Structure 1
């Protein structure tokens, strides 16, 4: 941890910055997995909305 002291004796602590890295473009199997998750999420939300409308 990086610490400094100003002229009044007040300590300032600074967190260490994490090492930066660039994101990798997802592979084709990861893209398919994301599409499948989106389809299931859409079906779930649609079902919940339809059940809510039916009950009310």
Structure 2
């Protein structure tokens, strides 16, 4: 941890920064999986909304 002291004697602690890395573009099979997950989530939320309207 990196610590500094200002002129009033107050300590300031700074966390160490993690090493940066660049994200890689998802592969085609990952893109398909994300699309399927989004479709299932959309159907689930739509079902919940319709169920909420039906019981109210």
Q: TM-score range by the shorter chain?
A: 0.7 to 0.9
Q: Could you tell me the TM-score, scaled by structure 2's length?
A: 0.87
What stretches of structure 2 of length at least 5 have no aligned partner? none
State the distance in 2 between where 1:5 and 1:51 align.
59
Give every structure 1 segment of 4 or more consecutive aligned residues whose post-TM-superposition deviation is greater than 3 Å.
none
Following superposition, the deviation at residue 5 of structure 1 comes to 1.5
Q: Could you tell me the TM-score, scaled by structure 1's length?
A: 0.87
What stretches of structure 1 of length at least 5 have no aligned partner? none
The root-mean-square deviation of aligned C-alpha atoms, in Å, is 1.0
